[in-house]
Amino acid sequence: MALMSYAAAAAAGLASAMRADQQVVALGEDLGRGGIFGQYRGLREEFGAERVIDTPISEATIVGASVGMALTGLKPVVEMRVMDFALCAMDEIVNQAAKNRFMFGGQGRVPAVIRMPIGIWSASAAQHSQSLESWFTHIPGLVVVTPASAQDNYSLLRAALDCGDPVVYLEHKELWGLEGEVDERRQAAFGLAQVVRSGQDLTIVTWSKAVHWSLAAAELLAAKGIDAEVIDLRTLWPWDRHAVFESAAKTGRVLVVHEAVQVAGFGAEIVATLAEEGGARLARLGGQRIPVGYSPGLEAQARLSPEAIAAKAESLLR
């Protein structure tokens, strides 16, 4: 076990994969200097410019090149800097990477890991603060991963590189400095959630940075005698229906929490699936349908908080 930051864990996971497999390469802007969050620190020095590739400022070119690389046998890790910039490469992601295996009868596969940091990034305004994970869960052929801890950012990145299909890998822009113990031997599998806090009175289902807000909210609820269970989905496609259904059956109340805009967010898919099963009281809480403002006051209006999560959870008990 080693104490690592969320960023350092990703760099360590990628370095381990690159040592084990010469076909793993990384490409994107600013990788040579370690990436803007330090998530590639030390890789250029160890693996050289032919495997840690600095690219022009063209997201469509970066992802398009990675699709070609993948089809010829490489395993590219693609850096979009922030999710917002990936919108310039949507055709390559949605129509090329996601559909290639299906459209060509399995003759080609695109084992690319496309890193798109999500979430509100303080003082970065509307074009650098989006969480668009629901866009990608909607697309057949894509795997969607949302690590919330340093351990998961190591283990899930390794799993993404072994997947064989395109993975939309969604780190959070404000978790890079988060530290935690990392066991480099621990493996992760897609579609397996983690119960990060056990409880009996209600279930909070969440992912990414909202896991940490939800844990803080659970402590606020505990002070009022309410015992909340918190589930970190870890991957959104596939998502762990079994873990969520099992917890819902135990507590009878489920609140789904995400930083993304609530309207048509992935929380709606979870709530709808639970509603079809019946038996639990359901609610969801997400961001407002507003652009994220630059000023601190406006930015604060777009953020969730442990207090808001706790208040919404209490409403399920009334």
Give the closest residue to 226 by CA, choosing from 117, 317, 288, 301.
317
Residue 248: predicted pLDDT? 97
128, 172, 212, 258: the active-site residue? 128
How far from chain centre, in Å, is Cα 127? 18
State the burial class of residue 242 (Cβ atoms within 10 Å of its Cβ: 0-12, 13-18, 19+). exposed
Sign of CA dihedral 262, 267, 273, 278: negative
Domain segments of the chain: what residues? 2-182, 194-316
304 phi and psi angles, rounded to 5 deg: -80, 170
CATH class of 2-182: alpha beta
The letter for the amino acid at 110 is V
Residue 318: predicted pLDDT? 86
pLDDT at position 147 over 90: yes
Predicted confidence (pLDDT) per residue in 180-228, tens digit: 999 999 999 999 999 999 999 999 999 999 999 999 999 999 999 999 9
Residue 150 in tokens: 């340093």
Query: What distance in Å separates the CA atoms of residue 39 and residue 150, rounded to the nearest whole number?
Result: 12
Residue 144: predicted pLDDT? 98
Residue 168 in tokens: 């939309």
pLDDT at position 271 over 90: yes
> Taking a C-beta distance cutoff of 8 angstroms, is the pair 29, 54 a contact?
yes
End-to-end CA separation in angstroms for the chain: 44
Q: Which residues pair with 203 in a beta bridge?
A: 229, 254
4 phi and psi angles, rounded to 5 deg: -135, 155
Residue 210: predicted pLDDT? 98
290 vs 46, higher pLDDT: 46
Third-level CATH fold of 194-316? Rossmann fold (3.40.50)
- The yes-or-no answer on residue 212 being catalytic is no
pLDDT at position 236 over 90: yes
Sign of CA dihedral 235, 236, 238, 244: positive
Residues comprising the chain, all counted: 318
pLDDT at position 165 over 90: yes
Residue 279: predicted pLDDT? 85
Query: What distance in Å separates the CA atoms of residue 193 and residue 18, rounded to the nearest whole number?
Result: 27
State the burial class of residue 270 (Cβ atoms within 10 Å of its Cβ: 0-12, 13-18, 19+). buried
Instruction: Give SS3 for 109.
Output: coil
Instruction: Give SS3 for 88.
Output: helix
Tell me whether domains 2-182 and 194-316 share a fold. yes
Query: What distance in Å separates the CA atoms of residue 278 and residue 224, rounded to the nearest whole number?
Result: 28
pTM score of the predicted model:
0.94
The letter for the amino acid at 19 is R
Query: What distance in Å separates the CA atoms of residue 202 and residue 212, rounded to the nearest whole number?
Result: 17
Residue found by looking up tokens 């079809």 in the block: 276
Share of the chain above pLDDT 70, in %: 100
Predicted confidence (pLDDT) per residue in 278-318, tens digit: 889 999 999 999 999 999 999 999 999 999 999 999 999 98
